């Protein structure tokens, strides 16, 4: 339950990519099909919106907001792990 009072941001939309016809719709929660890998070196990075934490606060972050800057996007397995 999200309420405006508790400073929790709305659920982020995740990957913001056009779904190919016939493929799984990004708004259909019932399918368990894996989304196709769209990221390719030399091609535009797939846009996304994700919730995050920075400087003591929560806010949504969208990749396209960083257009005009160099971005290093680092995925990692998990907090509180070892490496």
Partner 1 sequence: MDVEVLAMSTDSRFVHKVWQEEELSRMIPKGVPYPMLSDAGGRIGEVYGVYDAAAGVDLRGRFIIDPDGVIQAMEVLTPSVGRNPAELLRQVRAFQHVRRTSEATPSGWYPGQPALKPGPDLVGKVWQVWKPETVGGSSRPAAGERSATGGIGSPREEG
- Beta carbons within 8 Å of 63's beta carbon, 6+ residues apart: 45, 46, 47, 48, 49, 71, 73
How far apart are CB 52 and partner 1 at their closest, in Å?
4
In 7-23, which positions are buried (b, 16+ CB within 10 angstroms) versus exposed (e)?
eeeeeeeeeeeeeeeee
How far apart are CB 27 and partner 1 at their closest, in Å?
12
Using CB under 8 A, which of 1, 4, 27, 76 touches partner 1?
A: 76
Q: Is 41 in the site for partner 1 (CB under 8 A)?
A: yes
How far apart are CB 17 and partner 1 at their closest, in Å?
6
Q: Which residue has the tokens 């070196």?
A: 41
- Binding interface with partner 1 (CB under 8 A): 12, 14-15, 17, 34-48, 50-55, 58, 61, 63-64, 66-83
């Amino acid at each position: 339950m999200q309420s405006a009072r508790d400073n929790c941001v709305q659920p982020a939309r995740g990957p913001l990519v056009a779904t190919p016809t016939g493929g799984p719709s990004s708004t259909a929660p019932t399918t368990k099909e894996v989304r196709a890998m769209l990221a390719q070196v030399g091609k535009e990075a797939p846009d996304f919106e994700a919730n995050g934490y920075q400087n003591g606060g929560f806010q949504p972050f969208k990749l396209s907001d960083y257009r005009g800057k160099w971005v290093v996007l680092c995925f990692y397995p998990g907090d509180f792990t070892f490496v």
